[in-house]
Amino acid sequence: MFSFTSIEIYQQFLLANQDGCKIAVNHYLSVIEANKQLNAFLEVYAQEALAQAADLDAKRAAGNRPLGKLHGVIVALKDVICYKDHKVSASSHILENYLSIYNATVVEKLLAEDAIIIGRNNCDEFAMGSSNENSAFGAVKNAFDETRVPGGSSGGSAVAVQAGMCMISLGSDTGGSVRQPADFCGIVGLKPTYGRISRYGLIAYASSFDQIGIFAANIDDAALALEIIAGNDAYDSTASQQIVPNYSTQLQSNKKYKIAYFTEALSNPALDKEIAASIRLFIEQLKADGHEVEPVTFELLNYIVPVYYVLTTAEASSNLSRFDGVKYGYRAPLTATDDLTEMYKKSRSQGFGKEVQRRIMLGTFVLSAGYYDAYFTKAQQVRRILSDTTTTIFKQFDAIIMPTVPTTAFKIGEKSTDPIEMFLADIYTVFANLVGIPAISVPLFKHSNGLPFGLQVLCSHFNELSLLSLSKRMLELKK
């Protein structure tokens, strides 16, 4: 029986097994089949994955070296990442059956290192949501408890790793969409620094926030995936030119850190009492391990959700204007008297789901001439203050810790009728995207209700090495 613990151990298995990739692909295909009801995959590339596996097995047998760093690693992609000649729909009717005409840079990089792409994961439509209930292709279920959400928007990618349907997966994180489902599913979810990974080939939601992120079963795998997919890209001017360290070989778990936590975050009335207590207890454990952990006042906490929703919806209203029924995607059936405007209206009303429509309208409103200064400009000003405050904090501290989400995974349907309640649950995750810093959800805890939850760790820009090293240490401490 094939079983997976880490990429390193898997690659040793491959060196000892001629048919190793084939064995692994067959294993994952059967797990995917057995877990169909979770709805994590919109499409499975069974034949292609088997063909890729056969090629890789042959490459090893022929003694072709070097093997790619992700040789045989089985990866799934959120349905917002372009894979040439494969469908990408942002889980929306408006892009249903649309075929990618090019590879996202991350896909090029994965394939260049011998990864096997096994399928396309369900998500919230255009990555807007926190529960994966906004997909045009049905909700995704949490494998721990199928009556509960897996989180969102990258719910399918999280469940794919959680339920052992692939080794790692890529999602996107605009306001928590990798960290929040990782928290709900009990796995590692990393959102790197804005600009660490090229966004070329990622369907845009809010361009100044979006970043591709990684789901993994452990920190080492996340570190390895990051070092492969990060880096400068001529196709994305916001991708940073900073050198990409070899994260996977440079992780150190014996360093001592100066860690801050926000007083307001832990005393927030919306925070589950048991989550707060577990984190407080863990702070003591960190101190005992030789780290300095101190409270910091952060009075801006209550502003970050409104600021996030003003700015991201503004950017979304602009980004999503390209889906107009003309250039690509769904076009509504028209009557003889329908004019161009009617064609736009019908196509967009029928093609986009309710949440996406709500955000396009909200974003259009905050950008409208009469309200621009009151909402958009004001929110940009707060974003600036947040950035400055963060810079000051990182002058004194190496890392910040806080909960990833105020509660454990909620029931399917529990929050879907109240968008505000759903938005407020993003209180801890949107901060990292507003200021562009890297953040991770580390699966450290189990609630008395039986569900897992994580601790969020944040570091300064491009400090993923510290982020991953500290996270690794935290997991060791919990063992």
Q: Does 91 bind ligand GLN (CB under 6 A)?
A: no
Q: Quick one: 21 or 204, whose CB is closer to ligand GLN?
A: 204
Burial classification of residue 208, based on how many CB atoms lie within 10 Å of its CB (0-12 exposed, 13-18 middle, 19 or more buried): middle
Q: Does 128 bind ligand GLN (CB under 6 A)?
A: yes
Contact 451, 326 (CB under 8 A): no
The CA distance from 50 to 143, in Å, is 26
Q: Does 317 bind ligand GLN (CB under 6 A)?
A: no
**Residue 396, C-beta contacts closer than 8 angstroms, at least 6 positions apart:** 258, 260
Q: Min. distance of Cβ 335 from ligand GLN in angstroms?
A: 35
Using CB under 6 A as the binding rule, the residues of this chain from 421 to 460 that contact ligand GLN are 426
Q: Count the Cβ atoms, other than its own, within 10 Å of residue 419.
A: 16
> Following DSSP, what letter does each residue of 393-426 receive, concatenated?
HHHH-SEEEEESSSSSPPBTTSSTT-HHHHHHTT
Cα first-last separation, the chain: 26
Q: Count the Cβ atoms, other than its own, within 10 Å of residue 101.
A: 10
Q: Quick one: 116 or 182, whose CB is closer to ligand GLN?
A: 182
> Following DSSP, what letter does each residue of 327-392 receive, concatenated?
SSS------TT--HHHHHHHHHHHHS-HHHHHHHHHHHHHHSTTTHIIIIIHHHHHHHHHHHHHHH
Burial classification of residue 475, based on how many CB atoms lie within 10 Å of its CB (0-12 exposed, 13-18 middle, 19 or more buried): middle
Q: Quick one: 177 or 456, whose CB is closer to ligand GLN?
A: 177
Using CB under 6 A as the binding rule, the residues of this chain from 98 to 127 that contact ligand GLN are 127
Q: Does 133 bind ligand GLN (CB under 6 A)?
A: no
Residue with the closest Cβ to ligand GLN? 177
Where do runs of H (alpha helix) occur along 267-339? 273-288, 301-319
Report the Cα 144 to chain-centroid distance in Å: 19
Q: Does 177 bind ligand GLN (CB under 6 A)?
A: yes
Q: Does 174 bind ligand GLN (CB under 6 A)?
A: yes
Q: Min. distance of Cβ 307 from ligand GLN in angstroms?
A: 12
Q: Which of 150, 156, 175, 189 binds ligand GLN (CB under 6 A)?
A: 175
Q: Min. distance of Cβ 172 from ligand GLN in angstroms?
A: 6
CA distances to 70, 302, 308, 338, 449 from 426, rounded to whole Å, are 33, 11, 9, 41, 21
Q: Quick one: 181 or 325, whose CB is closer to ligand GLN?
A: 181
User: How many residues lie near ligand GLN (CB under 6 A)?
Assistant: 14
Q: Which two tokens stand for residue 324?
A: 């107009």
The residue range among 43-51, 65-73, 172-180, 466-474 that interacts with ligand GLN, by the rule CB under 6 A, is 172-180
Phi, psi of 238, deg, nearest 5: -90, -5
The residue range among 16-24, 61-69, 169-177, 230-238 that interacts with ligand GLN, by the rule CB under 6 A, is 169-177
- Give the residue numbers annotated as catalytic, written as ranges: 78, 153, 177
Q: Which of 119, 176, 406, 438 binds ligand GLN (CB under 6 A)?
A: 176
Using CB under 6 A as the binding rule, the residues of this chain from 15 to 34 that contact ligand GLN are none
Using CB under 6 A as the binding rule, the residues of this chain from 389 to 428 that contact ligand GLN are 426
Q: Does 227 bind ligand GLN (CB under 6 A)?
A: no
Q: Quick one: 128 or 168, whose CB is closer to ligand GLN?
A: 128
The residue range among 158-166, 173-181, 265-273, 453-461 that interacts with ligand GLN, by the rule CB under 6 A, is 173-181
The CA distance from 24 to 168, in Å, is 13
Q: Quick one: 405 or 470, whose CB is closer to ligand GLN?
A: 405
Q: Min. distance of Cβ 109 from ligand GLN in angstroms?
A: 21
Q: Min. distance of Cβ 313 from ligand GLN in angstroms?
A: 9
Which secondary structure element, helix H or strand E, spans residue 436, and what is its range?
Answer: none
Q: Does 352 bind ligand GLN (CB under 6 A)?
A: no
Cα-based angle 463, 469, 473 (whole degrees, multiple of 5): 145
Using CB under 6 A as the binding rule, the residues of this chain from 188 to 207 that contact ligand GLN are 205
Q: Does 153 bind ligand GLN (CB under 6 A)?
A: yes
Q: Quick one: 49 or 136, whose CB is closer to ligand GLN?
A: 136
Q: Quick one: 172 or 460, whose CB is closer to ligand GLN?
A: 172
Q: Which two tokens stand for residue 31?
A: 């797990």
Residues contributing to the site for ligand GLN (CB under 6 A) = 127-130, 153, 172-177, 205, 312, 426
